[in-house]
Amino acid sequence: MYKDEFGHNRKRVFLGLDHSNYKITLSTICKEEYIEFRVRNNAKILPEEKNRILKRVQASTKYKNINDAYRESVDNEESSGLGIVLIHILLRNSGISNQFFQLMTTDEYTEVIIRIPKQLIPKENQTNIKNLLVREVSSLPPLPPQIQKLILIAKKKDVDWHEISAQVEKDPAITAEILKIANSPLFGAHTPIISVLEGVKRIGLKNLESIFLTLGAKKILNSRYAKQVLVWTHSFKTSMYARFLIEDRKKHLKLLEPAIISALLHDLGRMVLLSLDLSQVNQIRVLRSDDTNEISEWVEEYTLGTTHSEIGHLMAEKWNFPEEILDVIRYHHKPWQCKTRNNILCQIIYLADILANIGRGKGNYSTVEPEVLEYFEITSEKEFRDMQERFKLQFEEHREEYQTLLA
């Protein structure tokens, strides 16, 4: 009856609502331990309707996701009850048990209550996990001595190209990395170079300190943690997209090189976070992306009480990274929280990060902060998609070079 009445006479039903005595109210209450949502109508449900709802709630426990529910329809009445099933799957996959869902009915009304706890993990466990991560960061070794020496030379006011290139050449591994970076599309390389002297000239003295910091961090993290290729791959892609964004919008060209370098390091904290045994935190395991092992920022904050951005900031502070890189690492998901002169740089990396992620099904036009879209003069979803497609094609042109850089 529901399908026939609503499916075939939808327009008449909607027009009739204006003159109906029936209504639905939504109320939200913020309590100390949870947020409560109440949806109420002014009608009593029949016992058979209540039983059908409870059966759907019970049936939802069989399914891992909504696709499973679609394949095995719960009920032929009222759109198969998939709305109720979907609510319970979403709650369960967020670590919220069925006890936070309640159905109430009287002669005057029917009401559904959903309570979303403010903490999925007990405060004590959350603190323990956060402390574990902080201890892990504290245990990281200092940057390699040769890297530290190169950084000191790069900071000297009277340094020249020959002095710094001679010092780089003392370490074959650093020499190879400098040449790979200098010949990469990061710095707009068109003509291959084979000498360290030409390599450091192309990178530029003002960028060398940050490049040395990047090489030092990469060496430590790759030796300490496994499965970091995906993180570095995404970081490089974000770096390239930051370049494309600045050149495309023709804004803040002076931030081009700082954006390229800080984007390489923006996800530093993910590497430590991925070292955590996620089996301890089932809520995170459920919400984790299967293909990238990445966890969304809000899930991290909601469950762990900290984020990869904060962890990365601790790491960067430990290694004395420049302020601009510290701010990008900390605020690349929330640039509006950056109150320093690096706010625009954080916005660039924020948008580049989203654009670089779209190819993996993460993020879209509607997830971008309106203020950021306005700042970069992106006025429509079509313009956003066209820009992302241009960047994608530009990036594909350099795929071979970036794979060499990551080797």
Question: Same domain, yes or no, for 361 and 247?
Answer: yes
Question: Could you tell me the CA-to-CA distances from 377 to 46, 52, 238, 381, 387 in Å, in that order?
Answer: 55, 51, 20, 12, 12
Q: Per DSSP, what are the bridge partners of residue 30?
A: 35
Closest CA to 216 of 95, 107, 65, 318: 318
Question: Same domain, yes or no, for 162 and 245?
Answer: yes
pLDDT at 6: 62
Residue type, 266: H
Beta-carbon-side half-sphere exposure of residue 249 (alpha carbons within 13 Å): 25
Domain count, the chain: 2
Question: Tell me, what CATH number does 195's domain have?
Answer: 1.10.3210.10
Evaluate whether residue 8 is within a structural domain.
Answer: no
Final residue before a domain boundary, out of 65, 94, 117: 117
Evaluate whether residue 3 is within a structural domain.
Answer: no
Question: Same domain, yes or no, for 26 and 164?
Answer: no
Question: Same domain, yes or no, for 68 and 184?
Answer: no
pLDDT at 76: 47
Evaluate whether residue 206 is within a structural domain.
Answer: yes
Question: Same domain, yes or no, for 136 and 23?
Answer: no
Final residue before a domain boundary, out of 117, 137, 172: 117
pLDDT at 74: 46
Question: Same domain, yes or no, for 79 and 219?
Answer: no
Question: Same domain, yes or no, for 273 and 323?
Answer: yes
| Burial of 262: CB neighbours in 10 Å, binned 0-12, 13-18, 19+ | buried
Question: Same domain, yes or no, for 87 and 147?
Answer: no
Evaluate whether residue 159 is within a structural domain.
Answer: yes
Evaluate whether residue 88 is within a structural domain.
Answer: yes
Final residue before a domain boundary, out of 52, 87, 117: 117
Question: Same domain, yes or no, for 201 and 246?
Answer: yes
Eight-state DSSP code of residue 293: -
Question: Tens place of pLDDT for every residue, the chain, 407 residues?
Answer: 565 666 667 777 777 777 788 888 999 999 888 899 999 999 888 888 888 888 888 877 777 666 666 666 544 454 556 777 777 777 776 667 667 788 888 888 999 898 888 776 656 656 667 777 888 888 889 999 999 999 998 888 788 888 899 999 999 999 999 998 888 877 766 688 889 999 998 888 888 888 999 999 988 888 887 767 788 888 989 999 999 999 999 888 899 989 999 999 999 988 887 766 544 444 444 444 444 434 456 566 656 667 889 999 999 999 999 999 999 999 999 999 999 999 999 999 999 999 998 876 667 888 899 999 999 999 999 999 999 999 999 898 877 766 666 66
Domain residue limits at 328:
123-406
